[in-house]
Copies of this chain bind each other. A is one copy, B any other.
Amino acid sequence: MFTSHVQPRFSETDALGHINNRALSVWFEEARTPIFRIFNPELSYKFWNLILARVEVDFVRQIFHGREVEIRTGIQKIGNTSCVVAHEAFQDGQLVSKCLAILIHFDYQTQKAAPIPDDIRLVLSKHPIQAHGDAKQKE
């Protein structure tokens, strides 16, 4: 599991006085950086080999400016050509949001999904997300 931290920005608040939902898709994308590096160690745009196919985001509690958010990220499932990344975000020790993101391993030359190589599959398998996240997802 990977852990990262975000300082919610004033410019991410909206007129309702809390963090706007759009910030979450940005934070979760950023939290996937270590996953991107497993597929593309240099984060080379030229050799990018992933496509985001789907995200599901649950907004569990309001998130506020001025207090750090912790994001836990891990692999929930590894398929033939895709994997499911799970995220949980916490503020003040409470779960505030959860996300599942489906990434497809993609060959831009043939414009087709490509099987995830065994060496990458092995590294992914070493970064599962804890049971806590899984259970929440079933709520």
Contacts and interface: CB of A to CB of B under 8 A. Distances in A.
Interface residues of A, number: 32
Copies in the complex: 4
Given A10-B30, A30-B7, A51 B59 contact: yes
A50 B56 CA distance: 19
Given A10-B33, A25-B25, A33-B10, A15 B56 contact: no
Contact of A11 (B29, B55, B56, B65): B29
17 contacts: A9-B26, A9-B30, A10-B20, A10-B33, A11-B20, A14-B14, A15-B15, A15-B18, A16-B48, A17-B45, A21-B29, A21-B52, A43-B65, A53-B59, A54-B59, A55-B57, A56-B56
Chain A interface, DSSP helix/strand/loop, else mixed: mixed
A33 B35 CA distance: 31
A46 to B, nearest CB: 10
Nearest to A57: B55
A75 to B, nearest CB: 19
Interface of A: 7, 9-11, 13-18, 20-22, 25-26, 29-30, 33, 43, 45, 48, 51-59, 65-66
